[in-house]
Amino acid sequence: MRNYTVVTEFILLGIPETEGLETVLFFLLSSFYLCLLLGNALILTAIITSSHLHTPMYFFLGNLSMFDLGFSSTTTPKMLLYLSGQSHIISFQGCAAQLYFYHFLGCTECLLYTVMAYDRFVAICYPLRYMTIMNHSVCSILASGSWMGGCIHAIILTSLTFQLPYCGSKVVGYYFCDIPAVLPLACEDTSLVQRVGFTNVGLLSLICFFLILVSYTRIGIAISKIHSAVGRQRAFSTCSAHITAIFCAYGPIIIIYLEPNPSPLLGAIIQILNNLVTPMLNPLIYSLRNKDVKSALRNVLSKRGFPLENK
C-alpha cells in the first residue's frame, strides 16, 4: 500500500504564453462566444418553427447546432471566468465532467458530420428515393447512433483517465481539462491510457474522415454524369456548405493529432479554433448560400420585431 494525498481540485493555468493579455482575450473570446450562441440559437429556432425545413438535411443541421452549443459551452465559460479575474480552480469532479463532455460532444459531432455526408450522398445519387431511404426512422436511428457512439467513446476515455490516482501537483498547464494536460499529474504509469486515448480518438477521426471521402467521391462521380450545367450547379450547391464545414472542423483536428510536438501556444490556438471559432462559423456557412435557411431566419427575426428586407 502506498500513501497518496488525494487531489480534490485542479488549478487551470489558462492559455499558455498570454500573461498580461487577459483583458483583450476576454473581450475577443466573449464576443466570439456570444456570436456562437446567437447564431446557433437562430438556426435551431428557424428549423423548429419552419415546416418546410422539417427534412432530413435540416434535422441533422439542427442536431449539429445543438452540439455546437454544448461543445463550446463545455470549455468556454470557465475560460472566460478566469480571464475576467475569477478563480482558476476547478473541482476534481468538474474536471472529469469537462473532459467527458468535451469528448462526448466532440465525438458525436464527428459522427454527425459523417452522417450528414451520407445524407448528401443519398440526396445526390438517389434523388427519387431520397425521402424513402432517409425516412424519419432512419434519421432517428442515425442521430441516436451518433449520440450513443459519442457517449461510449467519452466513457472509455474518462474512466481510464480518472481511475488513476492523482497526487502531488494539481496544476493543469492548460485552459481546460483534456487528457494530455491531466495525465502528467497522475502518480502511476499512464502509457496504457495514452495509447488507448490516441488510438480511440485518432482511429475514430480517420474512419469518419474516410467515410466522408467515400461519400463525396461517389457524389463527385454522380455530379460529373449530370449533363445540365444548371443541374450540376444545383447539386454542388447542396453539398458546398457541408464541405466547407468539414474543412473547418477537420483542419484543427488533423493539426492537433498529427503535429508531433506543437508549441503550447500553437496547440491552444488550434484548440480554440476547434472549440469556439468553427462552431461560431457553422451558422454562417449553412445560411449564407441557403435560400431556405435565409428565408426561415428572416421570418423568425420579423416575428420578433427585426424585419429584414428580402434580398
Cβ-based neighbours of 254, under 8 Å, separated by 6 or more: none
The share of the chain scoring above pLDDT 70, in percent, equals 91
Q: What is the pLDDT of residue 308?
A: 53
Is the pLDDT at 210 greater than 60, yes or no? yes
Residue 231 forms part of a structural domain: yes
Residue 3 forms part of a structural domain: no
Q: What is the pLDDT of residue 108?
A: 92
Mean pLDDT for all residues in the chain: 84
User: What's the pLDDT tens digit per position in 3-28?
Assistant: 556 778 899 988 888 888 889 999 99
User: What's the pLDDT tens digit per position in 161-188?
Assistant: 998 888 777 888 888 998 888 988 888 8
Q: What are phi and psi of 140, to 5 degrees?
A: -65, -40
User: What's the pLDDT tens digit per position in 218-235?
Assistant: 998 888 888 877 778 877
Is the pLDDT at 311 greater than 60, yes or no? no
Count how many domains the chain has: 1
Range of the domain at 35: 9-303
Residue 182 forms part of a structural domain: yes
C-alpha cell at 86: 475569477
> Where is average pLDDT lowest: 18-22, 89-93, 135-139, 303-307?
303-307
Handedness of CA 81, 264, 203, 197 (dihedral sign): negative
Higher pLDDT, 131 or 5: 131
Residue 79 forms part of a structural domain: yes
Number of residues in the chain: 311
Q: What is the mean pLDDT of residues 114-137?
A: 91
Residue 311 forms part of a structural domain: no
Residue 269 forms part of a structural domain: yes
User: What's the pLDDT tens digit per position in 246-288?
Assistant: 888 777 766 666 665 667 777 788 888 888 888 898 888 887 6
Is the pLDDT at 305 greater than 80, yes or no? no
Residue 256 forms part of a structural domain: yes
Q: How far apart are CA 217 and CA 3, in angstroms?
A: 57
What does DSSP assign to residue 172?
A: E
C-alpha cell at 293: 435557411
Q: What is the pLDDT of residue 170?
A: 86
Q: What is the mean pLDDT of residues 198-226?
A: 85
Residue 162 forms part of a structural domain: yes
Q: How far apart are CA 40 and CA 62, in angstroms?
A: 9
Q: How far apart are CA 233 and CA 217, in angstroms?
A: 17
Q: What is the pLDDT of residue 309?
A: 53
Q: What is the CATH number of the domain that holds 200?
A: 1.20.1070.10
Strand partners, 171: 11
The share of the chain scoring above pLDDT 90, in percent, equals 34
